[in-house]
Amino acid sequence: MVTYIEAGAAPYKNTGVIRLYGPDGFEGMRKACRVTARCLDELASRVQPGVTTEEIDRFVYEFGMDHGALPATLNYRGYTKSSCTSINHVVCHGIPNDKPLREGDIVNIDVTYVVDGWHGDSSRMYPVGEIKRAAERLLEVTHECLMRGIAAVRSGARTGAIGEAIQSYAESERCSVVRDFCGHGVGRLFHDAPNILHYGNASEGPELKEGMIFTIEPMINLGRPHVKVLSDGWTAVTRDRSLSAQYEHTVGVTANGCEVFTLSPAGLFMPGVRALGTA
Ligand code: MF3
Ligand code: CO
Ligand code: CO
């Protein structure tokens, strides 16, 4: 059975109940998510051939320190970096290292900042120099998956409506949806109920209610959907080594749809990509 609870009345751990946040929660999330979005904007000009993901991670740490924001991933379940940097066939949770980015790479940078206890979680794809048309198409399809997922959010619908919108579009474009990772409730906690699957059926999952806050973060592959986690315990890669992409926003359910908290102030959500229908 699904239960919902006024956010302030819930214990500070994921017990499976779905928190409903009021105006204070939405305001807290706006602040945290704005810092995250501004950091991701700053990275657009910094992601270049020759730059290492370690350098990117250092920038994420410093930017947080300069803006009253703590990276939520630091010491999270043994993770020791301020960001995840997932290159090419890495699906998610790539660990920043000292290897330089190369022309033609595509890299997802995923940042979660905590500001006044609120978590702002977002990720984007960054092309490194010139990328191949197949890679650019994957970025366009993945971004469109996120946008269609967001468009499905309204109170009264089920979480499955988000997954159905994403899966049907991805597969119509001959891409596949990763099943092993999902979006999640977020707010006071980094990873909370409910899970937001990026596949499935509109008749499934808990009902969306005004005040719910969660991420949508589809991982889409050019090849097959299957992933494996490397021996570092984090890095998830496509089993067939096909390219993978991901975009992530944090959203809150409102009376007439949703508010996207992690929009790019500079209009740089898809830097260097000819987007389908982006402003
Ligand atoms: N930010 C990721 C997400 O979207 C989670 C990263 S957890 C880490 O949920 F430990 F891998 F950093
Ligand atoms: Co997330
Ligand atoms: Co994230």
| Predicted confidence (pLDDT) per residue in 253-264, tens digit | 999 999 999 999
The model's confidence at residue 177, banded by pLDDT at 50, 70 and 90, is very high
Nearest CA to ligand 1 atom 8: 73
Å from CA of 26 to ligand 3 middle: 18
Give the per-residue pLDDT at 276: 54
> Does residue 11 lie within any of the structural domains?
no
198 is in an annotated binding site: no
Give the mean pLDDT of 37-43.
98
Å from CA of 141 to ligand 2 middle: 19
- Would you report the helix, strand and coil content of the chain in percent, each value rounded to 5? 25, 30, 45
What is the average pLDDT score of the chain? Answer: 97
Give the mean pLDDT of 49-73.
98
> Does residue 272 lie within any of the structural domains?
no
Which residue type sits at 213?
A: I
Task: Specify the pTM.
Answer: 0.98
Give the per-residue pLDDT at 279: 42
pLDDT in tens, 136-167: 999 999 999 999 999 999 999 999 999 999 99
CATH number for the domain that contains residue 99: 3.90.230.10
121 is in an annotated binding site: yes
84 lines ligand 1 (CB under 6 A): yes
> Does residue 273 lie within any of the structural domains?
no
| 59 has pLDDT over 80 | yes
> Does residue 133 lie within any of the structural domains?
yes
Look up the domain containing 92 and give its range: 17-260
77 CA closest ligand 1 atom index: 10
Which residue type sits at 14?
A: N
> Does residue 9 lie within any of the structural domains?
no
110 lines ligand 1 (CB under 6 A): yes
> Does residue 279 lie within any of the structural domains?
no
Total number of domains in the chain: 1
pLDDT in tens, 85-109: 999 999 999 999 999 999 999 999 9
Give the mean pLDDT of 169-173.
98
pLDDT in tens, 187-204: 999 999 999 999 999 999
Nearest CA to ligand 1 atom 11: 93
Give the per-residue pLDDT at 275: 58
> Does residue 248 lie within any of the structural domains?
yes
Give the per-residue pLDDT at 167: 99
112 lines ligand 1 (CB under 6 A): yes
Give the per-residue pLDDT at 149: 98
Mutation choice for ligand 1 from 60, 76, 196, 229, CB with most ligand atoms inside 8 A: 76
